[in-house]
Amino acid sequence: MAKIYLETLINADIQKVFDLSRNIDFHQESTAKTNEKAIAGKMSGLIELGETVTWRAKHLGFYQTLTTKITQMESPIMFTDAMVKGAFKSMKHQHIFEQKDDKTLMTDIFEFESPFGILGKIFNQIFLTNYLKGFLLERNRIMKEFAESSR
């Protein structure tokens, strides 16, 4: 299983960052480059424990759908979403938040496994891990910019 670990320090309150991270509308705005849209399940507002959302997005030149469910949540400390249905063999994304003085340390732990056995593992190492890391870094950059602004 491949794992991506990212830390982003955001000059904003932990509750604001936590809520932005689980806001369906903001997610769509922050992933505009891949035209990510909620098409089923929770389609607007803040996603909560036990809820699902199905996303449709263009990745690697193809439109794909991914359904995730919020499997753990402890506001405003953490939440985890896991794939219910999609292109991965498995996928889990832990979002962890820690107040550091007047800032929030946001940690992403993104674990995934591609289908197709050894070929999937090779694809992960050569390409997919870097692609997904870049996707998450860009989303976190936009979240940081938004959270630190007066919007």
Burial per residue of 106-144, b for 16 or more beta-carbon CB atoms within 10 angstroms, e otherwise = bebebbbebeeeeebeeebeeebbeebbebbeebbebbb
Q: What is the 3-state secondary structure (H, E, C) of 52-88?
A: EEEEEEEECCEEEEEEEEEEEEECCCEEEEEEEECCC
DSSP element (H, E) containing 21? helix 14-21
Residue 109 confidence (pLDDT): 98
CATH of the domain at 132: 3.30.530.20
Parent domain of 99: 2-148
Q: What is the pLDDT along the chain (151 residues), one digit of tens a residue?
A: 899 999 999 999 999 999 999 999 999 999 999 999 999 999 999 999 999 999 999 988 899 999 999 999 999 999 999 999 999 999 999 999 999 999 999 999 999 998 888 888 888 888 999 999 999 999 999 999 999 997 7
Give how many domains the chain has, as a whole number: 1
pTM for the whole thing? 0.94
